[in-house]
Amino acid sequence: MSDIAMLVAEEYERRVSILRKASADAYGVSQERIDEGASVLAQRLMKQKRELLKWAWEPKSQVGVAASTSFFSA
C-alpha cells in the first residue's frame, strides 16, 4: 500500500516539475521567479488562515462564549 502511495507521489512531483518548466518556457519567466511568486502566495494564504482561526477561536457574544466553554470542557 505504501509503495503505491510512493509511486503516486513521485508521479505527481514529476508532472508538476514538467508543467512548471513548460510554463516558465512559454511565458519567458525563470523558475526562480515562479518559485518566488508561489512562496509569496503561500505566505498570504497562511496569513489569511491564521486570521480566520483567530476569528473563530475568539467568541464575540455571551452565547458564543458559553458554547465554546461547553464544547471544550468535555
pLDDT in tens, 25-43: 777 767 677 777 778 888 8
Residue 73 cell numbers, joined:
470542557
Terminal CA-CA length for the chain: 36
Tell me: pLDDT of 74 over 60.
no
Query: Cα separation of 56 and 49, whole Å?
Result: 11
Query: Cα separation of 29 and 36, whole Å?
Result: 11
pTM as predicted: 0.41
User: Is the C-alpha dihedral spanning 53, 55, 59, 63 positive or negative?
Assistant: negative
Tell me: pLDDT of 23 over 70.
yes
Confidence of residue 10 (pLDDT cuts 50, 70, 90): very high
Boundaries of domain holding 44: 2-73
Q: How many domains does the chain have?
A: 1
